[in-house]
Amino acid sequence: MKNIVLFASGNGSNAEQIINYFKNSESVKIVAIFSNKADAKVLDRAKNHNIPSVVFSKAQLNEGFVLEKLQQFQPDLIVLAGFLLKFPESILKEYPKVINIHPALLPKYGGKGMYGMHVHQAVLDNKEIETGITIHYVNENYDEGEFIFQKSVNIEDCKTAEEIAHKIHELEHQYFPEVIAGILTRNS
């Protein structure tokens, strides 16, 4: 059995897609959801699926509490699904298999502060004709880890950042669980 721990800071729609994708799997299990926000909707999603959750502060992320909690769940893969804090090197040393999804075609529109609607607004403001998603390994820098998968979408018909966000969510929900499954298969 391969164990996945999800990290999320907000709504958790990607986490929900991943949970649903693997819920009947005999080889993959979502063993926990970690969040840095006590009021994040992803925690309700965890409860609805009977998945244990861990809430922590930024200080606890960097000072060993999260690493200690992770060890209880023995993750084979850590998935950042809308997690907004920088992942500490101390955890990456123990668990080098950490992946993230970014709502743009990196290296464009990446880095500190570039997440969610900030990305979509920047894409719109720059009059891009396409954008997409990037799934990548996490390293010590924001959005600079090795790329695993990219998928683009035409946005010439989009007039608002919300319309772009809708197209990006569709890509994320379609491809993120499949890419995770592929990573776990390659690493077994």
Tell me the catalytic residues.
Answer: 102
CA dist 126 and 18 (Å) reads 32
DSSP bridge partners of 7: 34, 80
- Burial track 176-188 (b if 16+ CB lie within 10 A, e otherwise): bbebbbebbeeee
Instruction: Show the tokens assigned to 50.
Output: 């009977």
Element holding 137 (H helix, E strand): strand 130-137
Instruction: Show the tokens assigned to 157.
Output: 């018909």
